[in-house]
Amino acid sequence: MTDKPKILSGVLAAALTPMTGDSKPNIPLLARHCRWLLQNGCDGLAILGTTGEANSFTVKERIALVDKLVEAGVPGDALMPGTGACALEDAIEVTRAAVKAGARGVLMLPPFYYKNVSDEGLFAFFSEVIEKIGESRFRLYLYHFPQMSGVPITYELIEMLRKRYGDTVAGMKDSSGVLENMVGAARNFPGFAVFSGADNHLLPLLKEGGAGCITACANVGSALAQQVFAGFKKGQNVDAANEKLCAVRKTISQFPLSAALKELMARHTGDRSWSNIRAPLVRLNKEKAKALFDGFDAIGFPLPLAA
């Protein structure tokens, strides 16, 4: 395959990773979840991100998850795997596996252990990944999540990378929660796909030239997010759908996102294994789960049934 992939846009779910009882990735259940998301509003799937508990997995586990998911029939070109790591060679190894599996792009955190590193140091890290992958079809999406990583992706770094590597550095997921930072990136770097990491910023970012969203809540609200995205592109009034989407985000974000979303999926599917989560994260207790369900049900958004 030598053709260059199109820049991604639209609604991507930061996909959950269901677990078995012994905290191993449950690939059959994940494959079903991925297909359900693609059938209900998702344009792509950001697997192995923060919501997917990726940094609790080994390199071997992450590579196996990508490979087995494609083997299970999930299209590789629907995937944007998270491939960031503190160790450069780990990031290269996972990224190479993602590209081999046919992923249209990877989402990469900066190396996040050392804080206050320079843009020059981060440029060297990302540059080494790009050079070692060495494929024209490779697309890198930067992951700006300073609250979690402690290492921001600055405009200066984006400019350095785009100047050297052009469209290979294709875009960014901005989970900072700062709309002005997302808008500034979309305005300052034409052709650079900026995705909101939170659903409430999807519509404001689209109005300023953003590419879409990559969000945790798209695991349950992808149909709403797609109504907002597609409706906006068609010039329709999407205020009602956006209001409900923002309510979904506000309700779920009162709880730890991965645990809350897994509880919602467990209730929706009737499969209690959805509640499994890998330490150090923990399940919601019964009281919090009830509060979550009450708040979610009050929104009046029934989840789509499985096809």
Task: Give me the CATH number covering residue 170.
Answer: 3.20.20.70
304 located within any domain = no
31 located within any domain = yes
H-run or E-run covering 228: helix 218-233
List, as own/partner pairs, every contact residues 162-165 make where C-beta atoms lie below 8 angstroms and the sequence separation is at least 24, other chains included.
162/189, 162/192, 164/123, 164/127, 165/127, 165/130, 165/140
Domain count, the chain: 1
Which residues form the domain of 65? 10-235
Looking at residue 1, its pLDDT comes to 37
Closest CA relative to residue 128, chosen from 153, 152, 98, 92? 92
pTM of the model: 0.96
Contact 170, 192 (CB under 8 A): yes
290 located within any domain = no
Looking at residue 51, its pLDDT comes to 98
3 located within any domain = no
255: left (phi over 0), alpha (psi -120 to 50) or beta: beta
Q: Is 184 exposed, middle or buried (0-12, 13-18, 19+ CB in 10 A)?
A: middle
Q: What ranges in 85-178 are assigned the alpha helix state H?
A: 88-100, 119-133, 146-149, 155-165
- Tell me, yes or no, if 143 is annotated catalytic: yes
292 located within any domain = no
Point out the catalytic residue in the list 50, 83, 215, 251: 50
289 located within any domain = no
- Tell me, yes or no, if 50 is annotated catalytic: yes
Closest CA relative to residue 218, chosen from 227, 205, 208, 231? 227
Residue 107: strand, helix, or coil: strand
Point out the catalytic residue in the list 4, 20, 60, 113: 113
42 located within any domain = yes
Instruction: Identify the residue whose tokens are 């921001």.
Output: 152
Other beta carbons within 10 angstroms of residue 54's beta carbon come to: 24
Q: Hey, which residues does 82 pair with through a beta bridge?
A: 107
Non-local CB neighbours of 36 within 8 Å, separated by 6+ positions: 304, 306, 307
Point out the catalytic residue in the list 173, 215, 262, 269: 173
115 located within any domain = yes
Looking at residue 306, its pLDDT comes to 67
Other beta carbons within 10 angstroms of residue 306's beta carbon come to: 12
Low-confidence ranges of the chain (pLDDT < 50): 1-2, 307
Point out the catalytic residue in the list 143, 251, 262, 269: 143
Q: Is 209 exposed, middle or buried (0-12, 13-18, 19+ CB in 10 A)?
A: middle
Looking at residue 2, its pLDDT comes to 45
Dig out the tokens for 301 from the structure: 């958004």
Looking at residue 4, its pLDDT comes to 61
